């Protein structure tokens, strides 16, 4: 049993590669946000951090073994759900993504596919209807088609075509009352004070768990539990 794991049955998934491998120092930092052994112009360093966040949010854990020039082995342990265990249903009328009989609609923007898909799935499990978009200009176009149909906007800050702050400014110019959440990392330049000054309701630090998403949306929309 690994440290931090509860007693019970686990599903084990092992992934091996034959790449360049990592040093002991790199292994220790493998799951840190924005850390990468690749060229930073080609990798944001968020992939493993996102995977780590997803696994942890489900009560699991992930380990890595690696040797330089010999490749790496990642092992994921996920708890097995019992037969009588309750599962979260996206149709749950009392879920956080519900407002009466209507699902709340979220405009989600991130240029990284892995982050976009994982956050979209987490939001859908919470009961939200999600429009997932890969860049700012496309997100703005979708928002402009029907601004009043959206309840929340969650946007990444660092994107190539339009930053999250720029997108937030455009959206808030069209509809000043909509809650905008800016998703950022520790290495990014915009401060919480600057974000709030332009009308952003809250900040979401990467990598985010489902619990983090639920909490930040509740705060931004004034629906704290």
HEC letters along 48-81: HHHHHHHHHHCCCEEEEEEECCCEEEEEEEEECC
> Residue 214's pLDDT is what?
93
Residue extent(s) of CATH 3.30.565.10 domains in the chain: 10-79
pTM comes to 0.67
CATH code of the domain occupying 10-79: 3.30.565.10
> Residue 80's pLDDT is what?
85
DSSP assignment string, 174-220: H-TTS-EEEEE-TT-S--HHHHHHTT--EEEESS--HHHHHHHHHHH
26: phi then psi, degrees, rounded to nearest 5: -70, -35
Residue extent(s) of CATH 3.40.50.2300 domains in the chain: 98-221
> Longest C-alpha distance within the chain, in Å?
56
Which contiguous run of DSSP H or E holds residue 85? none
> Residue 156's pLDDT is what?
93
Half-sphere exposure of 86 (CA within 13 A, CB side): 4
> Residue 53's pLDDT is what?
77
CB-CB contact of 178 with 152 (8 Å): yes
> Residue 98's pLDDT is what?
61
> Residue 187's pLDDT is what?
52
CB-based contacts of 107: which residues, under 8 Å, 6+ apart? 131, 133, 139, 142, 143, 150, 152, 153, 154, 155
Which contiguous run of DSSP H or E holds residue 43? none
Is residue 85 left, alpha or beta, with left meaning phi > 0 and alpha meaning psi from -120 to 50?
beta
Which overall architecture, per CATH, does domain 98-221 show? 3-Layer(aba) Sandwich (3.40)
* Ordered per-residue pLDDT tens for the chain, 225 residues: 666 677 788 899 999 998 888 888 888 888 776 666 665 444 455 677 778 777 877 788 889 999 888 899 999 998 887 655 544 444 444 556 666 557 899 999 999 888 898 899 889 999 999 999 999 999 999 999 999 999 999 999 988 899 999 999 999 999 999 999 999 876 566 788 888 999 999 999 887 888 889 999 999 998 765
């Amino acid at each position: 049993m690994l440290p931090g794991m509860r007693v019970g049955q686990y599903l084990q998934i092992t992934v091996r590669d034959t790449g360049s491998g990592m040093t002991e120092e790199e292994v220790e930092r493998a799951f840190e946000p924005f850390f990468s052994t690749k060229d930073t112009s080609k990798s944001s360093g968020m992939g493993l951090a996102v995977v780590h966040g997803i696994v942890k949010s489900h009560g699991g854990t992930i380990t890595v073994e690696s040797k330089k020039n010999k490749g790496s082995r990642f092992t994921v342990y996920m708890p097995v759900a019992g037969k009588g265990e309750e599962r979260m249903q996206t149709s749950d009328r009392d879920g956080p993504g519900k407002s009466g009989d209507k699902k709340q609609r979220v405009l989600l923007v991130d240029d990284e596919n892995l982050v976009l898909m994982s956050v979209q799935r987490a939001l859908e499990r919470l009961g939200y209807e999600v429009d997932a978009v890969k860049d700012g200009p496309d997100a703005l176009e979708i928002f402009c088609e029907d601004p009043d149909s959206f309840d929340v906007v969650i946007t990444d800050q660092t994107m190539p075509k339009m930053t999250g702050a720029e997108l937030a400014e455009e959206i808030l110019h069209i509809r000043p009352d909509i809650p905008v959440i800016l998703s950022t990392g520790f290495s990014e330049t915009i401060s919480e004070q600057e974000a709030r000054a332009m009308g952003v309701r809250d900040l979401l630090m990467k990598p985010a768990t489902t619990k983090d998403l639920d909490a930040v949306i509740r705060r931004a929309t004034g629906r704290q539990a």
